[in-house]
Structure 1
């Protein structure tokens, strides 16, 4: 029986006793479980100060250190639960007595515990310290703000439409294949082309998209997740518009039948852009484009979906995480095996997508930075979308619609 097999919220003193025995601390079962009645939450918030001082007062230093190592493993596995209870990190547990000598020097993750209001045991943090400044501590907020989610969806659809227009423009500017042959590429020159590989790459993307939409439907904070998906996807594709437009790379393979100046008037260009936009730029929907090489849009979508699936599912869902990464990596391989993009296109797409995803979520999970002026200046859209979401989003699931009356009657 471990934390991954049974939710630690439901642990009783008996479960804690069993855990202590499994970890090799049988001699402390009577003290911790029978005398002081520690349950799962109490165990999770236990600190070294609690073990050393009254009322526990453990005497053996080695046992204290080893027990804290085991407790910290639990805290690391249950970061979401600690965050819900108001703890920024698993090590920043406000369990120190206000009159203790240790509380004067206690400072974790930029939070100065000596500034707690009232100075009594159990007081909550009121300020956070970062970059030489104190910020007011705010309670945990996870506002869905559906109107912002709707605005983010409009943003990503507009960006996709603009991307389609840029793809039409760069198609007209694609270098002539006779004058500008394919550039040397170590992967494309070494691996023979597989004709059906690009379709398989898009199948990987469709499977990942289906998994993500199902998770999004069942996630309790689906509005926040969808808003983040739209803002990140729109920003990456907006950057892709710039890189496609400023430099036109030659066609990566002679199998691609590309020629410029295909669309004469503005109406024809608009119709072509609309066809690309409505078909999501996929060959499975009949869309074939040239010139949009730096960087790979297919790699962006597949990688972004993979990161959202792995980020917003429990760490114990190993099969789903493995499947998601396999689809991501195989999708990238199929793109290159089809000779539809240069290797640099795929590498840059993967790097930009992963860095932007990680930077965004690092900022979103750092509450003090959200309140800083620098964040509002350099990341205005991020500050706008995330101003009422301070802290990590827990992976909680719920049925999106209310249960039908007949089902309620059968259950209740």
Structure 2
């Protein structure tokens, strides 16, 4: 017995007799009575069956070949019904199901309650599907979402909505990372070693570089200059959404790494001029408030932030190094003067940090190395993510953040600039764009050919009366 095409298109409405007929049609008539008659399996239940259900109680099929073949047939039926292909080796593993169901919402229209029916979706696992189907009511369809389908959805080309969604996620990720960094700075301040017991460590640079009291403030001023330049570049960059997303994701990642290095080892204070001692902020609420003050003031000393113990590695060096790399990467290569200026500011910023004796040399060196390597590695992946993931699936595991943010993006963007807000064009036509007299005459002929014929006849008549044609050899009087 074979099923009609109508039944194949509406598996969810199958009852036990249709399931019985389907089992007979595919050669499993010996299990038709067990599944359809004894256990009342209908179309919805059939789509939920897995190999484990067939193997375990109460069905307990003993033939491994029948279990695999029947599991394959159920997976194929589910695949044909939903328009998706599943892996026949493991049809019930590593999948998510998207249920489309009808939802009724009451809306107030002109003082009356009007029920409006809409189609809503719910993504559930195989185990949760039975409860979802009973709670949703009228189900329109079930879409099978496999791991490959999720990967394809992430790696699909970015749309405007998808780009802004990624930007929002990267922005929240960056803000959260900076807030965690501020909280860790409060914790390490409580654990800073006593300056009398633990003097500054030997440092080959600090031991030979005299202290300049205003140097650290000058380093922060350099950071503000670089931040202003980068803000202008980002504002007028044509691909500002992609560039800002990469900036937020990288800043968040680097400062999360800094949280770990600050927390695991507490270095002694690098200079005797610093008045640092362990300070407890009391309750957890007070610690969060102090972290918020550091976070809101960007951890800058010129904003009144005074912190100790956050040495490995230097956050100021990280910031100015990333700003320098972003400016040089997302401006044309021909802007050599700007690139030279940013590199000079970067190097002078590092010098002033060391001259202020606020960080050890190893803090600055590690910060510069990690920031620059992170920038280069991230962009190397962003520019070649399609080739990397196509040749090796492990790249998605090795670079999960880069894969999520860069899959489907443009890769290397062209450094083009535009105004962020478009203005209407009110521009007069130049004299070069104005049509000539001959062009205007042709336009008039096209628009009104009758008047043109009349004017031609008049022109010929006028020429015949005012300027008569003279025969050859006739003397003109």
Q: TM-score range by the shorter chain?
A: 0.5 to 0.7
Give the whole-Å Cα distance in 1 for the aligned partners of 2:340 and 2:216. Answer: 22
Aligned to 1:19: none
- Report deviation, 1:246: 0.2
Q: RMSD value over aligned CA atoms?
A: 1.8
- Report deviation, 1:141: 6.2
Aligned to 1:299: 317
User: SS where residue 188 of structure 1 aligns?
Assistant: coil
- Report deviation, 1:370: 3.8
Check if 1:151 corresponds to 2:162. Answer: no
Aligned to 2:150: none
- Report deviation, 1:376: 0.8
Do the aligned partners of 1:304 and 1:354 also contact (CA within 8 Å) in 2? Answer: yes
* TM-score for the superposition, normalised by structure 1: 0.64
Check if 1:393 corresponds to 2:413. Answer: yes
- Report deviation, 1:284: 1.2
Aligned to 2:293: 275
The structure with the largest alpha-carbon Rg is: 2
* TM-score for the superposition, normalised by structure 2: 0.55
Do the aligned partners of 1:193 and 1:338 also contact (CA within 8 Å) in 2? Answer: yes
Check if 1:369 corresponds to 2:385. Answer: no
- Report deviation, 1:142: 6.8
Aligned to 2:400: 380
Please list every run of at least 4 consecutive aligned residues from structure 1 whose deviation after the TM superposition is greater than 3 angstroms: 140-144
Aligned to 1:168: 186
Do the aligned partners of 1:142 and 1:393 also contact (CA within 8 Å) in 2? Answer: no
- Report deviation, 1:393: 1.2
- Report deviation, 1:392: 1.3
User: SS where residue 389 of structure 1 aligns?
Assistant: coil
Aligned to 2:278: 260
Give the whole-Å Cα distance in 2 for the aligned partners of 1:203 and 1:411. Answer: 46
Check if 1:353 corresponds to 2:409. Answer: no
Aligned to 1:231: 249
Do the aligned partners of 1:370 and 1:390 also contact (CA within 8 Å) in 2? Answer: no
Do the aligned partners of 1:152 and 1:227 also contact (CA within 8 Å) in 2? Answer: yes
- Report deviation, 1:267: 2.1
Unpaired stretches in structure 1, ≥5 consecutive residues = 1-139
Do the aligned partners of 1:197 and 1:334 also contact (CA within 8 Å) in 2? Answer: yes
1:179 to 189, 197, 215: 197
User: Could you report, residue by residue, the CA deviation over 1:81-135 in whole angstroms, capped at 9, with x for unpaired residues?
Assistant: xxxxxxxxxxxxxxxxxxxxxxxxxxxxxxxxxxxxxxxxxxxxxxxxxxxxxxx
Give the whole-Å Cα distance in 2 for the aligned partners of 1:337 and 1:181. Answer: 18
Give the whole-Å Cα distance in 1 for the aligned partners of 2:159 and 2:271. Answer: 49
User: Could you report, residue by residue, the CA deviation over 1:311-350 in whole angstroms, capped at 9, with x for unpaired residues?
Assistant: 0111100111011101110000000000000000000000
1:332 to 311, 335, 350: 350
Aligned to 2:426: 409
Give the whole-Å Cα distance in 1 for the aligned partners of 2:158 and 2:346. Answer: 30
- Report deviation, 1:209: 0.5
Give the whole-Å Cα distance in 1 for the aligned partners of 2:269 and 2:400. Answer: 37
User: SS where residue 365 of structure 1 aligns?
Assistant: helix
Aligned to 2:468: none
Give the whole-Å Cα distance in 2 for the aligned partners of 1:155 and 1:411. Answer: 48
User: Could you report, residue by residue, the CA deviation over 1:217-239 in whole angstroms, capped at 9, with x for unpaired residues?
Assistant: 11111001000001111000000
Give the whole-Å Cα distance in 2 for the aligned partners of 1:410 and 1:379. Answer: 50
Do the aligned partners of 1:370 and 1:387 also contact (CA within 8 Å) in 2? Answer: no
Aligned to 2:308: 290
Give the whole-Å Cα distance in 2 for the aligned partners of 1:149 and 1:315. Answer: 26
Do the aligned partners of 1:143 and 1:389 also contact (CA within 8 Å) in 2? Answer: no
Do the aligned partners of 1:149 and 1:226 also contact (CA within 8 Å) in 2? Answer: yes
Do the aligned partners of 1:170 and 1:292 also contact (CA within 8 Å) in 2? Answer: yes
User: SS where residue 195 of structure 1 aligns?
Assistant: coil
Do the aligned partners of 1:208 and 1:302 also contact (CA within 8 Å) in 2? Answer: yes
User: Could you report, residue by residue, the CA deviation over 1:144-167 in whole angstroms, capped at 9, with x for unpaired residues?
Assistant: 501100110000000000000000
